[in-house]
Chain A
């Protein structure tokens, strides 16, 4: 028989972790110049929101938060597909994915 867990971390711990991940992701987007790394940071932000959703869902004993996470994962997958395709397209025309070099249009 499985041992029941006696210790459940309080929701606030999860929320603090998710906020930390979120800020790391945000900092990554703002600091990094490589499109792929920006992209990974965005994924980190989405997943930090997922973690917060799951933690809140547990504290409310409400499944909606977890269902939301499924949808977010799906959306993130679609975003990855489109984003990588766009990165490939820009690499083919410019031979670079440094976003500082995306300056064909100015004004």
Chain B
């Protein structure tokens, strides 16, 4: 007999339902196995204690009342469970289905609070929107102008380079050639200036922009062509 069979037979032994043959085998094993013998002693102690103190744990004084309270608790929890099973209502619908009981002073205070809040939000919103729109417009106009100014500045840098080259060679030219160059450069500069003025008046003037680009190109071309002389 092993320990597992032994501990199963211990329960039958303690209940008094063990056969004579199993009892002999069990006793033989218990004599040889201290662990199983210890288990038998523990179980015998528990059973002995129980038999000794049987009847000391009295039933509740009013069993019927106890069951009634239990039933009430269960019934009270049932609607909550049902609610939790129902599909969830949206915040808006739950808000709309909700009702408040307000006194007249509370109602007046609420209305005043709402009016003040809405007014504040409206004023601040309009201010911010107008500031944003104005700044965007100003930014757009400035951007347009700065874009043109940047391009003119960049082009002028190239023009300055060629202008220096022309100035170096100018001494070799005949007086007539110098006069011709200066006169033509003045005419182109006037065209550049007129276009810039027109663009300052109207930054989105396509024709003025086209004229500005062409006159700057012409100026550069004139400088390049005369720098070879």
Chain B binds chain A: no
Interface residues of A (CB under 8 A from B): none
